[in-house]
Structure 1
Amino acid sequence: MTSSATLPGDPPGGRKAVAVWSIGVSVYFVAVIFRTSLGVAGLDAADRFEVNASALSTFSILQLLVYAGMQIPVGLLVDRFGTKKVLSLGALLFTLGQLSFALSPSYGMALAARALLGCGDAMTFISVLRLGNRWFPARRSPLVAQLAGLIGMGGNLVSTLVLSRLLDGIGWTGAFVGSSLFGVLVLVLTLLFLKDHPDGHAEPAARPASRGARFVRRQIAEAWREPGTRMGLWVHFTTQFPMMVFTLLWGMPFLVEAQRLSRATAGELLTLTVLSSMTIGLVYGQIIARHHRARAPLALGTIATTGLLWACTLGFPGDRAPMWLLIMLCAVLGACGPASMIGFDFARPANPPERQGTASGIVNMGGFTASMTMLLAVGVLLDLTGDNYRIAFSSIFVLEAVGVTQILRLRLHADRRERERLVASRVEAVHVPA
């Protein structure tokens, strides 16, 4: 299996790899704090800028629109310039975005700040994935990727537990300005200590022709041509958005306004979602590292369970669902983040090292495009139906149906192509001179 094979030229891993990778992941950790900060501040933002549900959802939609639109360019930049330069630029941009959001006096300026934040955020995860691939052996890639996602969810936990309390304690400006200082810290660490690759494992110098538009088109076309890349995109599309929409913006209003819970109780349920995601991420990473064929069953099982719990919650008789059902829903939503990481495990073995950033960017577009679509749908439907959350959240089933159809269509094709590449790599390894 690709996941467990030791390939020629694999990086050694070790303590230095963990140290360097930890710096990169710390940037992603802070980016997630900033990305999800609106999830606990949504009601405060609506009051501060005096906007309705559709306008409030525009904050997150614009942020995700920029994020999704940047994924392929970022992948190309990472492949071309390396992790350190792209990650440093990302940290600078998302820090400026968070600081600007804290000080924005108007809705329009706040929108611009979230767009800037989304641009910087877009540069983090692809860079961290590439950093892991460059510093750790290929057999460790599924677990390393899940660990990165797990640590990112820790940033979500900070937003839920810490930022929400800061908003209550020191107010909007103090909470957001204070949090932006973490961005300054990780930017300094990146500039001083991050390295793109271990000594002796540098990639071959790029040919002059690889700097032009023809190279860009070829990178994108060759990555897209691989069924594993497209399979990864649709897995990411279908698994990520239910949790993303819930934690990024609409979970708190749904629990407080539709389910009539206190903000403290709603915050605890959001915390449960994050803790569940961190726990399940470790389990999924270990399973996939040992059993490569478990990727599709895990992804489809997560999608089915998520859809079932949403159907039970939205269809429960009466005005509100019982607490035990909400607890189950939030716990299951926590599996969506780890399941979305499986998408990268389809794209990674389908593409050579020099195309990893581009392929990962294509995959990462999936979930954020779905999240952006769902955020818009919920906001518009809430305004059209007079805040009927049952109708608004029912749009989840449409996106899940589209995604599952594509996954089932591509599954066999992706498996066959991956087996062909595995056989070719084994033949090549046999002929490598000792």
Structure 2
Amino acid sequence: MTSPTTTSRVPARAWAVWVVGLLAYAVAIFHRSSLGVAGVEAQERFSAGASAISLFLVLQLAVYASLQVPVGVALDRFGSRKVIIAGALTMAAGQLVLALASDVPTAVVARVLVGAGDAMTFISVLRLVPLWFPGRTVPLITQLTGILGQVGQIIAAYPLVTLLHTASWTPTFLGAAAVGVLVGVLVLVALRDTPPGTQLAPPSTMAEVRRNLAATWAEPGTRMGLATHLVTQFSGTVFALLWGYPFLTTGQGLSAGAAATLLSLLVVVGMGFGPLLGRLCARWPMRRSNLVFGILTATAAVWTVVLLWPGRAPLWLLVLLVVVLGTNGPGSMIGFDFARTWNPAERSGSASGVVNVGGFIASLCTVLAIGLVLDALTPGSSTAYSLDAFRAAFAVQYVFWALGLVGVVRHRRQLRARMAQDGVVLAPLTTAVTARLRHRSAYAHPRQEG
């Protein structure tokens, strides 16, 4: 492998490639969110209840999570450009099917296609970052990728809804499909996997693919990234994606406007916190796990206060909860940084895929568990969930926090033991090792330095 440049100056071509990849990711978020903002219209079009519409979300998340590792393997084999194009066209096909669908089974197929295309996009864009940018900027650019991609959710929430109300269902989703095709064409024309002169050797046989995947999983840094993603992401995702709004309105008695404002605040906090977290990771790479512990402690602590508060929580406490949950998304990005620094570039796709499974599996399980607890504690088919029912339901989060914490602690211990065997003194950390971790390669992989 010939390494990408490690100079501090970022060439204009790198920014151009990143912007194209970022646009592809933002459009993927747009496709992911499009049905959620059209939930009422979907119920009317398909004559379906809320539970059927919720099934769309669960299946979409399940497809997304289940494809992360296969997509990661394909990414190492074929590169970001081809995988992003495949994802864009798959999502466009899903939106086309949804535009023409008139029944629930067809709509489910459409959302499965959207979930599959969505699964191909994010980790493909992340793979571009360490290949095009100097090492110390990688954590910051990674955070910006996750944050700015959320613009797609804003596009879904406003222009798409406006078009839906003025042009009806079919033209709206045909337009969404056309956007996917246009993005695929733009990626084909303007995006390149690596800078000129950089050569990555992809696996050429299935045996090599299996060996690469096994080596990726055997790497404690990959598993630490997965545990990090799991323990930091799911609480904020579950709150923003499904159960936060009913908890705030039905459980805590807030108005619809106040609940929407708090959910918007969650996104704003993430946008502000992400760049700061990226700079901290770049400045102190050996202290990234401390940031994870801090985010986990703050999240579990504020949830504990909210759930134990006698009666409905005061507004200031709910605002504090949302602010802390806003750190969860940026915190989960640290998991990808672990995968980047402890795997060679040839395995970056599969490593990112493994990491990305953690938070989404935890989110999916938590969404389902909260629903089951609420249904078990609520008479009949009523959706008038009590505050006590919400308290019991959200308590399932402690199980996943515990699992994730055990994983982070265990794999951090393994990493540090290996570094100690290699003669690295952790305190104070040697300048050479710090420099390696701030760039693309970790102490255990000097071959990455070219």
Query: Does 1:280 pair with 2:273?
Result: yes
Contact 1:39 1:247 in 2 (8 A): no
Q: In the alignment, which residue of structure 2 is the partner of 1:155? A: 152
**Which of 251, 263, 266 is the equivalent residue of 1:258?**
251
CA distance in 2, matches of 1:114, 1:381: 26
Local SS of the residue matching 2:5: coil
Give, in angstroms, the shift of residue 185 of structure 1: 3.0
1:40-97 CA deviation, whole Å, 9 max, x = no partner? 4456655665656654432222111111111111111111111111000101112222
Aligned to 2:75: 78
C-alpha spacing 1:107/1:428, structure 2 compared with 1 (3 Å): closer
* CA 351–203 in structure 1, closer or farther in 2 if over 3 Å, else same: same
Moved more, 102-111 or 135-144: 102-111
Q: Is the alpha carbon distance of 1:262 and 1:96 closer, same or farther for their aligned partners in structure 2, counting shifts above 3 Å?
A: farther
Residue number in structure 2 paired with 1:311: 304
Which residue of 238, 243, 263 maps to 2:236?
243
With over 3 angstroms needed to count, the CA separation of the structure-2 counterparts of 1:425 and 1:373, relative to structure 1, is closer
Identity %: 46
**Residues 94 and 110 of structure 2 are in contact (CA less than 8 Å); yes or no, is this contact kept in structure 1?**
yes
Aligned to 1:146: 143
- Richer in helix (by share): 1
Q: Distance in 2 between matches of 1:172 and 1:255?
A: 30
CA contact (8 A) 1:157 1:275 kept: no
Mapped partners of 2:276, 2:448: distance in 1: 33
- Secondary structure of residue in 2 paired with 1:90: helix
Q: Call closer, same or farther: CA 1:354–1:281 in 2, change over 3 Å.
A: same
Distance 1:331 1:428, change over 3 A: closer
The separation in 2 between residues aligned to 1:193 and 1:156, in whole angstroms, is: 24
Cα 1:161–1:428, aligned 2, differ >3 Å: closer, same or farther? Answer: closer
Question: Which residue, out of 298, 316, 321, partners 1:329?
Answer: 321
| Structure 1 residues 254 and 118: alpha-carbon distance in aligned structure 2, compared to 1, 3 A threshold | same
Give secondary structure in 1 for the equivalent of 2:149: helix
**Following TM superposition, by how much is the alpha carbon of 1:112 offset from its aligned partner in structure 2, in angstroms?**
1.6
Residue 389 in structure 1 maps to residue 381 in structure 2? no
Q: Which moved more, 1:305-314 or 1:361-370?
A: 305-314
Given candidates 360, 372, 380, the residue that maps to 2:372 is: 380
Q: 1:114 to 1:411 in 2, by over 3 A?
A: same
CA distance in 1, matches of 2:48, 2:447: 61
For the residues of structure 1 that align with 2:447 and 2:72, how far apart are their CA atoms? 29
1:87 is matched with: 84
Q: Which runs of 5+ in 2 are unaligned?
A: 379-384, 423-440
Instruction: Report the Cα distance in structure 2 between the residues aligned to 1:423 and 1:398, rounded to whole angstroms.
Output: 33
Change (3 A) 1:307 1:79: same
Alpha-carbon shift at residue 299 of structure 1 (Å): 1.1
The reply on whether 1:290 has 2:295 as its aligned counterpart is no
Kindly report which structure 2 residues correspond to 1:203-222, keeping only aligned pairs within 5 A, or say none.
Answer: 203-204=200-201, 206=202, 210-222=203-215
Work out the number of aligned pairs and report it: 419
- Change in CA separation of 1:426 and 1:133 when aligned onto 2, cut-off 3 Å: closer
Corresponding residue number in structure 2 for 1:398: 399
Partner residue, 2:360 = 368
Q: Residue 224 in 1 paired to residue 225 in 2?
A: no
**TM-aligned CA deviation for residue 116 of structure 1:** 0.8
Residue number in structure 2 paired with 1:4: none
Q: Distance in 2 between matches of 1:301 and 1:267?
A: 27
1:192-211 counterparts in 2 under 5 A? Answer: 192-204=189-201, 206=202, 210-211=203-204
Deviates further, 380-389 or 396-405: 380-389
User: Any idea what SS the aligned residue of 2:210 has?
Assistant: helix
What is the match of residue 57 of structure 2? 60
- Once the 2 structures are TM-superposed, how far is the Cα of residue 131 of structure 1 from its aligned partner? 1.0
Alpha-carbon distance, 1:425 to partner: 5.4
Q: State the partner residue of 2:334.
A: 342
User: Cα RMSD (Å) of the superposition?
Assistant: 2.7
- Partners of 2:300 and 2:100 lie apart in 1 by 39
Residues 43 and 253 in structure 1, CA contact (< 8 A), matched pair in contact too: no
Instruction: Report the more deviating stretch, 356-365 or 243-252.
Output: 243-252
Q: Aligned-pair distance for 1:415?
A: 3.2
Mapped contact 1:273–1:331 kept (Cα < 8 A): yes
- Structure 1 pair 257/95, CA: closer, same or farther in 2 (3 Å)? farther
Structure 1 residue 188: Cα displacement: 2.2
Which AA in structure 2 matches 1:366? G
Q: Map of 1:165-204 to 2, 5 A cutoff? A: 176-204=173-201
- The Cα of 1:127 is off from its aligned counterpart by 0.6
Equivalent position to 1:105, from 82, 102, 106: 102
Q: Which amino acid aligns with 2:313?
A: A
How far, CA to CA, are the matches of 2:250 and 2:163 in structure 1? Answer: 22
Q: Which moved more, 1:115-124 or 1:9-18?
A: 9-18
Q: Which amino acid aligns with 1:396?
A: Q
With the length of structure 1 as denominator, give the TM-score of the two structures.
0.88
Structure 1 position 146, deviation (Å): 0.9
AA aligned opposite 1:183 = G
Q: Is the 8 A contact 2:4 2:195 kept in 1?
A: no
CA deviations 1:221-277 (Å, max 9, x no partner) are: 100111000000000011111121122222233333333334333222221111111
Matched with 2:5 is 10
Judged with a 3 Å threshold, the aligned counterparts in structure 2 of structure 1 residues 382 and 44 are, in CA distance, closer, same or farther, namely farther
Matched letter for residue 19 of structure 2? S
Matched, 1:351 2:346: no
